Amino acid sequence: MVLLEGKNLNKCFNDKQGYTNALKDVSFSLNKGEVLGVVGESGSGKSTLLRVVSGMIPPTGGSLLYKGEEYTGKRPRKTGEFLQVIFQNAKSSFDPRMTMEKAILENGRGKKDRAEILELLKLVGLEERQLSKRAGELSGGQCQRMSIARAFYSEAEILLCDEITSALDVSTQARVVELLQKLKSDGKLSAIFISHDIALVSMICDKIMVMKGGRCVEQGTTAEVIGSPKDEYTKLLIDSARRQSV
């Protein structure tokens, strides 16, 4: 079942240097229980794609569909009903004055279910006592897991993960990746996973979309893209990832 679709998405920014085409005819689809990885270097349009898909900024052209229904131009207050964003810097995604419990409850759209929160905490590997803490009192990894719990509490079906491991140290990164893999194997995760790290993306995602200069240069299943890349840029990304791991 197709949950989310983007068709010929374009985004043009008008800045001091003139027009910048940050997204050029990008199309994708995300099925239920699937994780789509978006990879590319800085400035390739990954984050713009996330901002457009989430409704933070409207696309200049193209359309967005959730379960076949168009939602192009809808803002986060509306899109938040079916998708949630996990931000790169999880600490800054929590109000520094708010306890974790309040922050999670805030995302429930009126729902107040402490038992569910405790269950979610267990799922992401956190403890009840951490609910009374503020973002400043938790580590980056704990905040990231807390933000995953918060997103799940909203009952939104889709997670948009924006470079969620890039601000974390290696061991914390591994724990977050493990968590995502677990959620995926439990069939609880439908997500778009944005990262510059193709090796990481290949560990979590079913499908990969490679972006360069605002365009999608290659798209396919993880096995296809990693196993037999067609585009030169994809080959370069895979080669650099291999060299880094040696």
Partner 1 sequence: MKHGTRREKRLRNRIIATAVLALLIILATTFAGILAPNDPYATSASSIRMAPGAQYPFGTDNLGRCVFSRVLYGGRTTIAATFLLVFISFLIGTVIGMLCGYYGGILDTVLMRLADIMLAFPQMVVAIAVAGILNAGMTGAMVALGITMWVSFARLARSHTFSIKNEAYIQAAFFAGKSDFYIIMVHIFPNLLAPVLTNALTQIGTTMIGLSGLSFLGLGVVPPKAEWGSMISEGRAYIQIAPWAVLFPALATIITIIIFNYLGDAVMDYMEV
Contact residues for partner 1, defined by CB under 8 A? 54, 56, 75-81, 83-85, 87, 89, 92-98, 103, 106-109, 147, 150, 154
Cβ proximity to partner 1: between 106 and 224 the closer is 106
Tell me the closest approach of the beta carbon of residue 119 to partner 1, in angstroms.
19
Cα–Cα dist 208/210, whole Å: 6
Smallest separation (angstroms) from partner 1 to the CB of 115: 20
Cβ 108 to partner 1 shortest distance, Å = 8
Could you tell me the smallest distance in angstroms from the CB atom of residue 208 to partner 1? 25
**Closer of 108 and 213 to partner 1 (Cβ):** 108
Angstrom distances, CA of residue 70 to CA of 22, 53, 63, 191, 206? 22, 12, 7, 19, 24
- Helix runs in the chain, H state only: 46-54, 76-79, 100-106, 114-124, 140-153, 170-185, 198-204, 222-227, 232-245
Task: Reduce the secondary structure of 54-91 to three states and give it as a string.
Answer: HCCCCCCEEEEEECCEECCCCCHHHHCCCEEEECCCCH
Between 54 and 222, name the residue whose CB sits nearer to partner 1. Answer: 54
39 vs 85 by CB, closer to partner 1? 85
Which C-beta is closer to partner 1: that of 164 or that of 238?
Answer: 164
Evaluate whether 83 touches 156 at the Cβ level (below 8 Å).
Answer: yes
* Shortest reach from residue 234's CB to partner 1, in Å: 30
Residue 52 near residue 60, CB atoms below 8 Å: no
CA–CA dist 225, 6 (Å, integer): 20
